[in-house]
Amino acid sequence: MKLYITKGSPYARIVRVVVLEKGLTDRVEIISAKTRHANSPYYSINPSGRVPYLVRDDDVGLEESAVICAYLDCLEGKPAFELPVGDQAWEARRLEALARSMLDGFAVWGRESRRPQNEQSPTILLHEADRARRLVDLWEREIDNPMFRGAFNLAQITLACALGFTALIPEFHWRPGHPKLGDWFDQISAKPSLAATVPPVHH
Ligand SMILES: N[C@@H](CCC(=O)N[C@@H](CS)C(=O)NCC(=O)O)C(=O)O
């Protein structure tokens, strides 16, 4: 199988972490794609131009990190990232969605702040900075949830990749006032699958 990524994409990182956690490195070839570039050859592979994108062994392509993660998790019939049972399933879904919501905002902010200055929208930058501040305040409370202490799960992976992406938004200083979230992030970042997929930072 082929997994198209960019090294900076936090969504692709979520899938790369699952590939490592599931021990699938021999079955999944990781390929860097050229995204956001007129006439990129990648567009003939994935017309949406987005990463992550998994081309399965039967040549069918899959978009969406959550869909690709679920596919890879079930590939060898021993899922490790399935939802827990009962009420905990809703808690897992809620927290994964909340982490993804924050990540979606960070992604917009990061993209906007990397545009040439004369193309940046001050309105978008302010909107995303405000959203980010509200959400890290919320996460400072949510991080006490037992879901973030137990076995590695997709809510944890999504949150770790969201916070990891802030290295690419140097104007966002989220650590002050959020000591529990900072401690959690430092601890989880030591996991080999996260350490191996840290986004490169160019300033
Ligand atoms: N909801 C998608 C988001 C994927 C996404 O936004 N990828 C960005 C990189 S972080 C991308 O490929 N952008 C290229 C483009 O928009 O042309 C997922 O979870 O996989």
CATH number of the domain at 26, please.
Answer: 3.40.30.10
* 19 inside domain: yes
CA separation (Å) from 108 to 32, 102, 113, 132, 197?
A: 21, 10, 9, 11, 21
**Which domain CATH number covers 119?**
1.20.1050.10
Strands 53-55 and 2-5: antiparallel
Residue ranges for the chain with pLDDT beneath 70 = 203
Q: Which of 11, 13, 112, 114 to mutate to test the pocket of ligand 1 (most atoms within 8 A of CB)?
A: 11
Q: Which atom of ligand 1 is nearest to the CA of 15?
A: 20
Task: Specify whether 9 is located in the same domain as 41.
Answer: yes
CA distance 23 to 38: 35
Asked if residue 31 is part of any domain, the answer here is: yes
- Which mutation among 42, 50, 100, 165 tests ligand 1's pocket best, with the greatest number of atoms within 8 A of CB? 50
pLDDT value of residue 194: 98
Closest ligand 1 atom number to CA of residue 63: 20
Widest pairwise Cα distance in the chain: 51
Q: Assess whether 95 and 131 both reside in one domain.
A: yes
Which DSSP category does 166 fall into? G
Helix (H) or strand (E) holding 54: strand 53-55
Establish if 202 belongs to a structural domain.
no
Let me know whether 91 and 190 are in one domain: yes
Domain-embedded: residue 93: yes
Please tell me the predicted confidence (pLDDT) of residue 153.
Answer: 97
Q: Are residue 42 and residue 107 in the same domain, yes or no?
A: no
Task: Please count the structural domains in the chain.
Answer: 2
Strands 2-5 vs 61-62: parallel, antiparallel or unpaired: unpaired
pLDDT at 203: 61
Last residue of a domain, one of 25, 44, 74: 74
Same domain for 121 and 165? Answer: yes
Does residue 143 share a domain with residue 105? yes
- Tokens matching residue 33: 């794609």
Task: Say what the pTM is.
Answer: 0.97
Let me know whether 49 and 109 are in one domain. Answer: no
Q: Which helix (H) or strand (E) holds 32?
A: strand 29-32
Measured CA to CA, the distance from residue 117 to residue 69 in angstroms comes to 36
Indicate if 102 and 176 belong to the same structural domain: yes
- The per-residue pLDDT for 99 is 98
**Pair 54, 27: CB distance under 8 Å:** no
Q: What is the pLDDT of residue 202?
A: 77
The whole domain housing 169 covers 87-195
Q: Is residue 200 part of a domain?
A: no
Closest C-alpha to ligand 1, atom 9: 9
Q: Give me the pLDDT at residue 156, please.
A: 98
Q: Are 33 and 4 in contact (CB under 8 A)?
A: yes
On the question of a cis peptide bond just before residue 192, with omega within 30 degrees of 0, the verdict is no
Considering only CA atoms, which residue is closest to atom 6 of ligand 1?
A: 50
Whether 126 and 190 map to the same domain: the answer is yes
20 and 66 assigned to the same domain: yes
